[in-house]
Amino acid sequence: METAFSKTVDEVLNYFDSDPETGMSDDQVKKQTAKFGPNELPAEEAKAIWQLVLEQFDDLLVKILLLAAIISFVLALFEENEESISAFVEPLVILLILIANAVIGVWQERNAESAIEALKEYEPEIAKVFRKSHYGIQRIKARELVPGDIVEYQW
């Protein structure tokens, strides 16, 4: 059900064939679990550091700057002036800026990944639901919740 928030309680209960007094049967729970899987976000594998570095250079402006540095480097090679070392300053500065940008980007990406992992610690581990197999409220693992469960919510 895509727009459960816009439906009435009765429409949602009918859609999931859920009883407001007793909840869902074990068979219904098994079917919903098979259909939707566990109630958890899929775990994402952490990216390797080299992947994060390469992603930092996958930007049009960065590619343009990299191309400008290469062109500037090639032009510096062919410069006939005896003080040719000063001709390499411009491409070197551009490359240093791109490297600094990549380092900062990787650092921010790693911080974002750790922040997401820290937020996962605040996920509730236990849920209180009505299920036909038990009288009253039953405590289950939050990952075992299925669409159609009648959940007791406390503020």
**pLDDT tens for each residue of 97-128:** 999 999 999 999 999 888 888 887 887 788 99
3 state SS for the chain: CCCHHHCCHHHHHHHHCCECCCEECHHHHHHHHHHHCCCCCCCCCCCCHHHHHHHHCCCHHHHHHHHHHHHHHHHHHCCCCCCHHHHHHHHHHHHHHHHHHHHHHHHHHHHHHHHHHHHHCCCCCEEEEEECCCCCEEEEEHHHCCCCCEEECCC
Q: Domain check: are 76 and 110 in the same one? A: yes
Predicted pLDDT at 41 = 76
Give residue 82's pLDDT band: very low, low, confident or very high (50, 70, 90).
low
Mean pLDDT to the nearest integer, 18-24: 87
Q: Domain check: are 113 and 147 in the same one? A: no
Domain ranges, residue 14: 4-42+124-152
Give residue 135's pLDDT band: very low, low, confident or very high (50, 70, 90).
confident
Give residue 34's pLDDT band: very low, low, confident or very high (50, 70, 90).
very high
Q: Domain check: are 75 and 18 in the same one? A: no
